[in-house]
Amino acid sequence: MIVHSALRSIWIWFATVSLIVMWLPLLAFIRVFDRDPVRYRTGRWFRRLGVAMTRVNPAWQLHISGETITDPRRPFVVVSNHQSHADIPLISHLPWEMKWLAKVELFGLPVVGWMLKLAGDIPVDRKDKRQGVAVLSMAGNYLKQKCSVMFFPEGTRSPDGRVHSFNEGAFRLAIKAGVPILPLAVEGSRNCLPKNGWVFGPPGDIQLKVLPPVETTELIASDTGELTERIRQMIIRQIAEWRNVSPEEVDAKTTKRAGVAA
């Protein structure tokens, strides 16, 4: 079984690297003719790389459900829980363009970093706390030009599959820009590619649900905390429903408080 998993993982990595190398000249060619100020077409083709990566991985069986977005140029601040690196190619199946926030270190990598720049994604330097204003300003400019932006408000992958605290930046941005929050719930991706490992997990079903949008036009800056927790609880309830457990078991903040009380 271990040998089979290793061989399958070697094949997936080989196919993935091959796709990435082949995708760069394609993306560069598309960028030359993409006159949209937000590079919408270039970004969409970059996300299609994630779709292709999913298709060469027989272990990932993705099921998408929930809301249908009929206007791909209606801007949203999109937020999702984060279980694994696999979340990125999986969410890329959604049929509209979003500019993603990504670690600044990725932009310095050959090939992958070049494609991030071509697509117009947003670099985030986690070591520079002052950079947050610039990041939100860049994201806000995309929203003004009718392009959604994508956040993982937990900031990093969940270490235990529960939903942890959300950073408020994405929600503050949505209120300031007057655009809706579009929550996504992801379940089943945690073992697709375990943290700090290269062997892909066993085949399994992955759920991705687009939850109902939440309007922000009537909100003000002081509502940010309440909005953040409201969206977080929407995602928690959906994951709890999939797992057939109580929301408290999915909420890392609740279980942490229970542990302290005990």
User: Which pLDDT score is estimated for 85?
Assistant: 86
What average pLDDT does range 65-91 have in this prediction? 95
User: Which pLDDT score is estimated for 199?
Assistant: 76
DSSP state of 160: S
Residue pLDDT, tens place only, 191-243: 777 666 677 777 678 999 999 999 999 999 999 999 999 999 999 999 999 99
* Beta-carbon count within 10 A of 214 CB: 19
Residue pLDDT, tens place only, 4-19: 677 878 888 899 999 9
Q: Which range marks the domain in which residue 147 is found?
A: 2-261
Residue pLDDT, tens place only, 96-147: 999 999 999 999 999 999 999 999 999 998 777 777 888 999 999 999 999 9
In this structure, the strands spanning 181-187 and 204-210 are antiparallel
Residue pLDDT, tens place only, 33-45: 999 999 999 999 9
| Global pTM exceeds 0.85 | yes
DSSP state of 176: H
Residue with the bigger pLDDT between 57 and 166: it is: 166
Residue with the bigger pLDDT between 254 and 177: it is: 177
What's 30's domain CATH number? 3.40.1130
CB 53 within 8 A of CB 19: yes
With residues binned 3-state (H G I as helix, E B as strand, rest as coil), the percentages for the chain, rounded to 5, are 50, 15, 35
User: Which pLDDT score is estimated for 262?
Assistant: 40
Residue 228: both structure tokens together: 């953040």
| Separation CA 252–CA 258 (nearest Å) | 10
Phi/psi of residue 148, nearest 5 degrees: -70, 160
What's the chain's average pLDDT? 91
User: Which pLDDT score is estimated for 23?
Assistant: 97
Number of domains in the chain: 1
Residue 256 pLDDT class (50, 70, 90 cuts): low
State the first-to-last Cα distance of the chain, in angstroms, to the nearest integer: 40
What average pLDDT does range 59-79 have in this prediction? 94
Residue 261 pLDDT class (50, 70, 90 cuts): very low
User: Which pLDDT score is estimated for 257?
Assistant: 52
